[in-house]
Structure 1
Amino acid sequence: MKKILIARFSSAGDILITGPVIRAIKAGRGGIVHFLTSAKFAAAAAMCGADKVLISGKTGAGEAAGEKYDAVVDLQNSLKSRIILSSVRAGARSYCQKDAIGRRLMVLFKWLPRRSRPVSEKYMDAVKRAGISTARVKKKTKAARGSKSVVIHAGAKWPLKQWPHAAKLARLLAARGIKVAITGVKDEIEKNDELLYIKGKNIRNLIGRTDFKGLEQAIKKAGFFAGNDTAAAHMASLNGVPALVFLGPTVKEFGFITKENFMIMEKNISCRPCHLHGGKKCPIGT
């Protein structure tokens, strides 16, 4: 049985995308999978199904340095990640072929390709190049129709990603007898935003009241998820919860939020995409 090290150091959403990849490895010929990440994102890595989560050091591989692997798969593929992983003994090494230049060109020229490959596929390619066997795993997703409970994840690290109508949606669903849990990081939501204070019948306000694991538990219990382009959306996908994602400054062609895994609400306007990650202010002031 092969011993494999998957390395991805940030961010939470990018790490959660590795979940299906690790499942595919397990469904193949099997293998012992370790996940090397930074301490900040260890909770996200723990949700992906690896046998062990290892924490990198400030300049080195930390806990992974004393291990020997049949293969190391570097999904970060940066100068820093290559330096960190250089101290890890491995029979084979593979790197994710990222398309950072392509995404930058999309932002600069507003040109969107007809066909863009999901990041999850690029992760899988890197695994296969390392000589690791995988098998297709059928994704199990709850039925969206007739859902009686919904998680609305408000807020985002980047302000431009925040959909402004979350409170209105929560009240509309609650009035129809659907139980709504509103989640989010308190610091990511404006102090005067009504979302911080919204309450009522069928509404449970969990903003600022869950850690990363608690957020996952809330999403797993729900029948449906609605939210911004954040790690929470990837958490819903990983747990088979049907998810509607609101896209603004980013686009599905980036390969992270894709039609294969999400229902997407977006408006096709000429100024999109306007930022690689989300941005703080609209570049044209709208």
Structure 2
Amino acid sequence: MQKILCIRFSSIGDILLTTPIIRVLKAQFPNAKIHIATKASFAHLWDGNPHVAQVHGYQGNLWEFAAELRKEGFDKVYDLHKNLRSHMLCLLLGKFPKQINKYTAARKAFVQTKLNTLPGHLVDRNFASLGLSPDVKGLDYFIPAAAQVKLADYGIKSPYVLFAIGAAHQTKVLSYPKMIELIDSIDHQVVLIGDDWDEKIGYRLATLFPEKVLNLCTRTSIAQSASLIQQAAMVITHDSSMMHVAAALKHPNLFTIWGSTHPGLGFTPYQTAFTAVENTNLACRPCSTQGSNVCPLGHFSCLNSLDLTVLKGAAQAL
């Protein structure tokens, strides 16, 4: 039986963006066993995926990891990460992989010149570079039964607004005053999710709005957060991993906030409806391909001057 190895070490959103490729590979090679090589901390993202036979978790020693993988005797290798570590792993496996095209030069040119020559969505670019044809099923994420959240256990009442308040970089995140402005306009319960970095902001917002805001930052796993997203009447995210989780769940009322990055870079929710909320009047956007922690011009106008009317109106219509 044929064995196929797909390599994608990190991170949450980027891994979810590879799930259509895994699904299409399984459809093209139905008798093959597809294995995933990823960081051990992200292995759980593949739980319940019917297209994956086995997940191998990398824990820091590439030589040992390669030795483990060599025992499997893979027939094909797909490098879906294309960085130094994935290059080295392929060399240690003695395999010449099929690789994605990151369009690094075109992405940098978009930032520098504001002229976008990128051919569509990142996922579709990856399909084309691998010689595969995409289906129309979007991203995959499967919530384990044990992670399904009972709203009553947290005191959540429907309909509620789920707000994923964080992102990997600060220039992708609404300022604290803007978060206050947004939450103040919402009449329904607002449930916050996020990581350690977001928890302090979540605490402050819950303190300001004790009857409205439930701060669950750091209190839910990725799968539990996905369950909360699935049950929400409205989901608000930044350009972040939770945006892709919501996209994988095909949430029907998804709103995405954009700051220093730009939908034109190709990282939008894939093959699902969404509303992009962005400041389109700035000549400085995008200023980064993936976000940064400091505004290069010092004004942070992309988010400080963001018009929240669309978000407010959608929340009021629930």
User: What's the TM-score once normalised by structure 1's chain length?
Assistant: 0.82
Pair 1:23–1:124, CA change in 2 (3 A):
same
Q: Secondary structure at the match of 1:244?
A: strand
Counterpart of 2:75 in structure 1 is 70
Structure 1: stretches of 5+ with no match in the other structure = 142-146
Does the 8 Å CA contact 2:139/2:248 hold for their aligned counterparts?
no
Pair 1:139–1:230, CA change in 2 (3 A):
closer
Does the 8 Å CA contact 1:170/1:180 hold for their aligned counterparts?
yes
Q: Cα offset for 1:47? A: 7.0
The CA RMSD measured in Å over matched residues stands at 3.0
Pair 1:193–1:112, CA change in 2 (3 A):
farther
Structure 2: stretches of 5+ with no match in the other structure = 141-157, 300-318
Total equivalences in the alignment: 272
Counterpart of 2:35 in structure 1 is 34
Higher share in helix? 2
Paired AA for residue 105 in structure 2? I
Counterpart of 1:267 in structure 2 is 279
Does the 8 Å CA contact 2:203/2:215 hold for their aligned counterparts?
no
Report whether the alignment pairs 1:124 with 2:127: yes
Does the 8 Å CA contact 1:27/1:135 hold for their aligned counterparts?
no
Counterpart of 2:53 in structure 1 is 51
Counterpart of 1:144 in structure 2 is none
Pair 1:55–1:246, CA change in 2 (3 A):
same
Pair 1:72–1:259, CA change in 2 (3 A):
closer
Counterpart of 2:296 in structure 1 is 283
Counterpart of 2:116 in structure 1 is 112
Does the 8 Å CA contact 1:250/1:278 hold for their aligned counterparts?
yes
Q: 2:172 aligns with which of 161, 172, 179?
A: 161
Q: Cα offset for 1:201? A: 4.4
Q: Cα offset for 1:179? A: 4.2
Pair 1:186–1:272, CA change in 2 (3 A):
same
Counterpart of 2:236 in structure 1 is 226
Counterpart of 2:313 in structure 1 is none
Q: Cα offset for 1:79? A: 2.9
Q: Secondary structure at the match of 2:182?
A: helix
**Aligned-partner Cα distance in 2 for 1:285–1:140:** 36
Counterpart of 1:10 in structure 2 is 10
Pair 1:88–1:224, CA change in 2 (3 A):
farther
Deviations along 1:119-147, one digit per CA (max 9) or x if unpaired, are 11133235446xxxx67244599xxxxx9
Report whether the alignment pairs 1:96 with 2:100: yes
Q: Cα offset for 1:27? A: 3.9
**Aligned-partner Cα distance in 2 for 1:216–1:103:** 30
Q: 2:183 aligns with which of 170, 180, 184?
A: 170
Does the 8 Å CA contact 2:194/2:216 hold for their aligned counterparts?
yes
Does the 8 Å CA contact 1:152/1:170 hold for their aligned counterparts?
no
**Aligned-partner Cα distance in 1 for 2:106–2:49:** 27
Q: Secondary structure at the match of 2:34?
A: strand
Paired AA for residue 62 in structure 2? T
Pair 1:191–1:181, CA change in 2 (3 A):
closer
Q: Cα offset for 1:5? A: 1.3
Pair 1:229–1:186, CA change in 2 (3 A):
same
Identity, % of aligned positions = 26
Deviations along 1:25-84, one digit per CA (max 9) or x if unpaired, are 334442322111112332334476533221234223444232122321101112321111
Q: Cα offset for 1:206? A: 0.8
Paired AA for residue 24 in structure 2? A
